[in-house]
Amino acid sequence: MIGVDFGGTRIKVAVVEGAVIERSADLETQSGAGPGEILDAIADQVRALAPGPEAVGLAIPGEVDSSGKIWRLPNVPGFAGVAMARELRERLGCPIVVENDGTAAALAEALFGHGREHPSFMMLTLGTGIGGGLVLDGNPHRGAHGFAAEVGHVSIERGAIEPGADPWQCGCGRYGCMEAYAGTAGLLRRFAELGGQANEIREIAESARRGEDAGRLVFEGMGEALGLGITTMQNLLDLDAFVFTGGVSRSFDLIEPALRRTLRDHGFAQILSEVPLLLSGLEDRAGVIGAAHLPGRFA
Report the interface residues with Zn ion, using CB under 5 A: 153, 170, 172, 174, 177
Kindly report the CA angle at 36 between 1 and 4, in degrees rounded to 5? 20
Closest CA to 84 of 73, 158, 10, 29: 73
Closest CA to 105 of 53, 61, 64: 61
Residue 75 C-beta: closest distance to Zn ion, Å: 14
Please give the single-letter amino acid code of residue 259: L
- Secondary structure string (H, E, C) spanning 162-199: CCCCCCCECCCCCECEHHHHHCHHHHHHHHHHCCCCCC
Task: Select 224 or 240, whichever has its Cβ closest to Zn ion.
Answer: 224
Which helix (H) or strand (E) segment holds residue 251: the answer is none
Residue 177 C-beta: closest distance to Zn ion, Å: 3
Residue 72 C-beta: closest distance to Zn ion, Å: 12
Helices H / strands E in the chain, number of each? 10, 12
Q: Are 138 and 110 in contact (CB under 8 A)?
A: yes
Task: Select 91 or 189, whichever has its Cβ closest to Zn ion.
Answer: 189
Residue 153 C-beta: closest distance to Zn ion, Å: 4
Residue 224 C-beta: closest distance to Zn ion, Å: 17
Residues listed for the chain: 299
Task: Select 229 or 287, whichever has its Cβ closest to Zn ion.
Answer: 229
**CA distance to 132, 133, 195, 211, per residue, from 243 (Å):** 10, 10, 32, 27
Task: Select 154 or 239, whichever has its Cβ closest to Zn ion.
Answer: 154
Closest CA to 58 of 296, 299, 290: 290
Residue 255, helix vs strand vs coil = helix
Task: Select 39 or 134, whichever has its Cβ closest to Zn ion.
Answer: 134
Task: Select 63 or 109, whichever has its Cβ closest to Zn ion.
Answer: 63
Residue 183 C-beta: closest distance to Zn ion, Å: 9
